[in-house]
Amino acid sequence: MKFNIKSIFVLVVCISFTACTDVVDVDVPFEGSNLVIEASMDWLNGTSGNEQTIYLSESTPYFSEDQISPVSGATISVVNDATGETYIFEDQNDGSYTTTSFEPVENQSFTLTVVYDNETYQASDTFILPTAIDYVEQTLEGAFDDEVIDLNTYFQDDAEVDNYYMNRYYRQGDLFPYLDTFSDEFTNGNQMHDFFEIEDDEDSTIEPLQAGDVVDIYLYSITESYYNYMTLLLEQSESSGNPFATTPAALQGNCKNMSDGEDAYGYFRTTRYDKVTYTVE
């Protein structure tokens, strides 16, 4: 066999590759609105946790521009399951219901009761031990892109138990926060490290973190049930429809309809949290 590789190659490469994404109009179903209960009894480390707000609203069509449809006229109470102490939340007539006398108790379960439109909804949850943010550090190299600033939050995981966390990064001025959940499955007992970076996307007006940006960093200690709920919620709201994402499913919160109707969307959660407000340098 005689051949000369150099003489036989004719290089023809012609790639016109047009993989792309675009925003399209899609007809999606709407099967009527459902009650949404956002009852987050969040207890900041080092505070009394007396002031609490519960939000009630109704779901709207997916592409609706009025994303929030507040619900007033409900009766809401939260009971300490051990003492029977009841906290009534007052209707502010804008979808929010508030109290200033709530008394959270560590390792104690509480039960929420919402009565609206002749339906009664109930849910329970228990406060678990808190976690404190040790410190926040600003770097360039920590995450995906070496050219944009990222924030690194450090805290200590408790090796004795399975821990579940939720973090919330909110850059002041943004329309909505960045949320994430995680567990200590691969990192039990270690110093935990969480990073936050905003992608430098040329197609978007959303800028990456810059000097002067003020970021509220929240770290919540959550229960396993709430972790399961929130993980699925975030997965479905961020990446649903992607072929490598799981098939979305009806999300089941803990607010059960005691009158045999549809359960409410949302969740009654009792969490401890820590918060750091960080100004990017």
The residues in 196-235 that bind another protein, with binding defined as CB under 8 A, are 204-206, 225, 228, 231-233, 235
Helix (H, G, I), strand (E, B) or coil at 5: helix
Residue type, 115: V
Closest approach of another protein to the CB of residue 26, in Å: 4
Binding to another protein by residue 191, rule CB under 8 A? yes
Q: Which of 142, 180, 258, 261 binds another protein (CB under 8 A)?
A: 142
Q: Which of 21, 84, 160, 173 binds another protein (CB under 8 A)?
A: 21
Q: Which residues pair with 135 in a beta bridge?
A: 154
167 contacts 153 by C-beta, under 8 angstroms: yes
Tokens of 126: 């228990």
198 contacts 151 by C-beta, under 8 angstroms: no
Distance CA 166, CA 211 (A): 26
Binding to another protein by residue 147, rule CB under 8 A? no
Closer to another protein at the Cβ: 95 or 104? 95
From residue 240, give the alpha-carbon distance in Å to each of 20, 25, 168, 197, 237.
Answer: 18, 16, 20, 21, 6
* Contacts of another protein in 35-54 (CB under 8 A): 36, 38, 40
Closest approach of another protein to the CB of residue 10, in Å: 5
* Contacts of another protein in 155-184 (CB under 8 A): 168, 170, 174-177, 179
Closer to another protein at the Cβ: 14 or 211? 14
* Contacts of another protein in 96-135 (CB under 8 A): none
Closest approach of another protein to the CB of residue 103, in Å: 24
* Contacts of another protein in 49-78 (CB under 8 A): 55, 57-65, 67-68
Distance CA 78, CA 124 (A): 9
25 contacts 253 by C-beta, under 8 angstroms: no
Distance CA 159, CA 152 (A): 21
**Can you give the C-alpha Rg of the chain in angstroms?**
24
Closest approach of another protein to the CB of residue 248, in Å: 5
Binding to another protein by residue 266, rule CB under 8 A? yes
